[in-house]
Structure 1
C-alpha cells in the first residue's frame, strides 16, 4: 500500500463514518498521511481525527477510536494505533497480503462472507404495516439482522396477504441468529419502530403477475424506504441499463468463468501475483462488504446492500474487460490468469450472498 493508497483508505473510512452517522462533520477533500518520524509508532501517521474533532463536536481521541474501528480490518493495514492527542498510526502489511486475506476469507466463508455475531446479544421486534413493500422490507431486514447474530421477530400490524408467501414473506416470522454467549444477558428489546416505507401502490398479486418474485423484490428493496419504488417493466429488461439484470449477469458470468477454466484444465489461486490497479476498485469493494452488511442491518436499510451489489457488478465488469481471467487463442493459463479467476470467483460469491440476503435468486445461467 502506497501513501496515496493509505490516504484514500482513510478518506473512505471518514466517508463511511459520516454516512453511518457515527460522525457528523464535513468530509474533507483529501487526507494527508506522513511517514512516522524517528521514535514514532508504525509506518505512517495521520492527524485527520484532530482535524475533524471540532466540526464533529467530539474529542479527537473519540474521533480516532471511531475511525480506528473502520480502518483496522482494511486490506494492507496490519495495525492501527492511537497516539498522542489523537493521531492515527499505521503499520502496513506487505502489499499483496491484505488482498490475499480478503479472497481467502471469501473462499472459506462462501456466501456467508460478511456475516458475523456483532448483534448476538440483541433481541429485536419489527412490526410492519400491512402493505406489500413493508412486508418485503421487513423480511429483508430480518435476514440482515439474523446474519449479524440478532434474534429477530417480525409481525404484521394488520391482516396479512396470503400472496406475500409467493414473495418469500410470512405475516409473522422469526430468525434466531447466533445464540448469546453463556451467562451473557440479552440486551432489552429495542424500542418498536414500525417499518413503514413508501407504499408500493400495487398488490403482491399484481407485482408477481407482471414482474415475478425476484424482480419485484429488487424493485421494492432497491430504493431507500423514504423514496417511491419504481416498479416498471424496465426491471425485466436484459441490458446494461437495468442494474438488477447487471448484478445477476455479473454473478452468472463469474460462474461461467469457473466452468470455462475447468474445461481448459486450470483452477484459481489466490495471491499468486499482485493484482495491480485495474483490480483495486473491486478488491476494495470486497474488503468493504462485511462493513456494508453490518451497517445495512443496523440501519434497517436493505437498499444499502442493493447499491453495494451494483457497485461490485460494475467493478467486476471493468476488471474482467481490463484483465481477462481466461487465456485467449493459443495462450496458456498463467499464474496471472489463476489469480484473476480467484478475484472473479470472489466477486461472484459476494453477489450471490448479497442477493440471498435480499431474498433473490442468483442463477448460474442467464
Structure 2
C-alpha cells in the first residue's frame, strides 16, 4: 500500500463516517494526504483529517477521529489506528500491506513515481539562454542542470513541457563579438569592450582559414554559427537537449516586435513621450515605465522580450517559465507587468525563477580562471573537474535560490561523504545483489507468488516507507520547482537501503536453501534499484550497475 493508497482509504473512511452520521459531505476535501511521523513509535503514517474537518462538520475533532479510527481499523491492510492529542490519527499497516509496495514498484518500473498532478498544463520552460559570444559559464551550467531536471520532473508530474533556448543573435553584444573576432584575425588587439580568451583566437583562425577575405559581417555571421554550434555541443555532452532553439533575429525578421507593440496599443497601455514609444508598466507594479521603441526608431531589448513572450503564448503555452541568473532579479517586476499589459494574469501565465551564483573550489581556494575563456569557469571546465554525473547532481542538489560552493575534492571522492557516490553506490549494490542472486538460482518468482507479509523486519519496514514516499516527492518537487528535493530524498533512500542491507541478507549463505523470505527480499532490493534509477534519471544522472 502506497501513501497515496492509504490517503485514499482515509478519505473513503471519512466519507463513510459522514454518510453514517448524516454530516454535510460538502465539507470533505477532494484529496487528503498522510505523513510519516518523525518518531516511528507513533506508527507508520499519521493523518490530520479529523482536525481539519471537525469544525466544518460541527463535531469535536477527537470524537470525529474516534469514528474515523473505527472505520479505518476495519479496512484491509490496516493493523491498528490510534488517536493522539486533539485528534491525530496514527496508523499502522500490517506487514502484507506494507510489503506489497515492493512488488508494485518493480512491476511499475520506469513509470513508478509518475503522477497526474499537473495533467493538462502546457508549460514553456526557458533556461540557460546564454548569448553566443562565448562558452557557457558556470552560472549557465547551473541552469542547464536544474532546468533539465525540472523539465523531467514536470513531465513526470503529467505536464506537457516544451524546453527552449533563447538564442540572442542580435544587438550590441554580437557587434562586440564580431569586432573581437575580426581584430584577432588581423593580428590586432581586441576592442577595449570586446571579448578575450583563447576561444576568440580559435574561432577567428577558423573563419580566416575558411574565408581569407571575409569582412566584419562575415566574421559576425560565421562567428555566431561556430560559437553557437560549440554551445549546443557542450550542452549535449552534458546531457541537455532543447526542444526549441529560438533566434531573437527571427522576431525582428518576422515583424513580431511590431505585432507585440500593436497588441499592447490595443490593450491601451502604450504612450508616446520624447519621441519614443513607452509601455506603462508602472500601472502594474513596475518601478518605472519602459521604452519599447526609441526616438531614433530602434527597438529596445525589452520590446524583444515582449514579442518573445507573446510568441510563446500564441504557440499555446499557458504558463511561461523563465530561468534567469542572479543579475536579472530586476527583470521580475517589468516582466510581470508586461504580462499584465497583454491582458494575462502574471500569477498564472508567467513564472520567473532566479538562480544564485556557483563557485568552484579546489583545495579550499576558488577556481576562477578558465583555460579557454580566460575570466570565467566554463561548462567544459566544470565537467572536466567533476564528470557529468557529479556535476549535474551537485548543481541540482541545492535550492537554486542559494549560493553554493562546489568542492572538487569532495565531489570526486569515492567515499560516503560524496552524495552522488553515496546514491550511485546503492544503484550498483542493488544490481550486484541481483547478479549474485541469479548466480545461486534465486529469482523473484512470479508476482502472484510474492509473500509481502514476510517483510516484517524493522529495517525492511523503514525502507518500504521511504520507497513509498517517492511519488509524493516527485509531485512536490515539480510543483515547487525544486529538483533538489529529489536528490535529498535519494540520499535518504540510500541510507535506508544500507541499514536494510546490513541487517537483512537477501541471498542464502552456504548450503542454506532458498526460501520465500529470500525471494521477498529480492523484490525489495529490486524495488530500491527502481526508485534510485528513476530518481537519478530525473536529475539526468546515471544509475550504474557496477562501480
Do these two structures clear the TM 0.5 threshold for a shared fold by scoring above it? Answer: yes
Aligned partner of 1:241 in structure 2 is 417
Q: Distance in 2 between matches of 1:46 and 1:298?
A: 22
Select which of 429, 438, 457 maps to 1:276: 457
Moved more, 281-290 or 326-335: 326-335
Do structure 1's residue 221 and structure 2's residue 396 form an aligned pair?
yes
Change (3 A) 1:88 1:123: farther
Who is 1:165 aligned against? 236
How many Å apart are 1:31 and its aligned residue? 11
Shift in CA distance, 60/194, structure 1 to aligned 2, threshold 3 Å: farther
Is the Cα contact below 8 Å between 1:214 and 1:360 reproduced in 2? yes
Structure 2 residue matching 1:224: 3-state secondary structure? coil
Q: Distance in 2 between matches of 1:249 and 1:197?
A: 30
Q: Cα–Cα, structure 1 residues 133 and 76, in superposed 2: closer, same or farther, change >3 Å?
A: farther
Aligned match of 1:121: 120
Map of 1:112 onto structure 2? 111
Kindly state the Cα deviation for residue 32 of structure 1 after the two structures are TM-superposed.
11
Q: What CA distance in whole angstroms lies between the structure 1 residues aligned with 2:412 and 2:474?
A: 26
Aligned position for 1:297? 478
TM-score of the superposition, structure 1-length normalised? 0.71
- Find the counterpart in structure 1 of residue 438 from structure 2: 262
* CA–CA distance in structure 1, aligned partners of residues 506 and 41 of structure 2: 35
Compute the displacement of 1:333 (Å).
Answer: 2.0
Q: For this pair of structures, how many residues does the alignment match? A: 305
Distance 2:244 2:393 in 1: 20
Distance, in Å, in 2 between the alignment partners of 1:223 and 1:117 is: 26
Alignment of 1:10-159 (within 5 A): 49-50=50-51, 76=77, 95-129=94-128, 130=130, 131-157=140-166, 159=168
Give the gaps of 5 or more residues in structure 1.
11-21, 35-44, 81-85, 175-185
Q: Which runs of 5+ in 2 are unaligned?
A: 11-30, 62-67, 131-139, 169-227, 246-315, 320-347, 360-376, 445-449
Instruction: Report deviation, 1:134.
Output: 1.3
CA gap 1:28/1:352 in 2 versus in 1, 3 angstroms: closer
- Judged with a 3 Å threshold, the aligned counterparts in structure 2 of structure 1 residues 357 and 33 are, in CA distance, closer, same or farther, namely closer
- How far off is 1:194 after superposition? 2.8
RMSD (CA atoms): 4.0
Residue in structure 1 matching 2:380, options 205, 211, 214: 205
Q: Provide TM-score, normalisation by structure 2.
A: 0.49
Give the one of 489, 497, 504 matched to 1:308: 489
Residues 249 and 125 from structure 1, CA distance in 2 versus in 1: closer, same or farther, beyond 3 angstroms? same
Q: CA deviation at 1:117?
A: 2.1
Q: Does 1:328 align with 2:328?
A: no
CA distance in 2, matches of 1:32, 1:252: 32
- Cα deviation for residue 204 of structure 1 reads 0.9
1:353 Cα deviation after fit: 0.5
Rg larger in 1 or in 2?
2
1:185-204 pair list within 5 angstroms: 188-189=318-319, 190-201=348-359, 202-204=377-379
Deviations 1:148-172 (A, max 9, x none): 1101123345657332221112355
- Give secondary structure in 2 for the equivalent of 1:231: strand
Q: Kindly tell me: are residues 282 and 117 of structure 1, through their superposed partners in 2, closer, same or farther at Cα, counting changes over 3 Å?
A: same
- Alignment partner of 1:209: what SS? helix
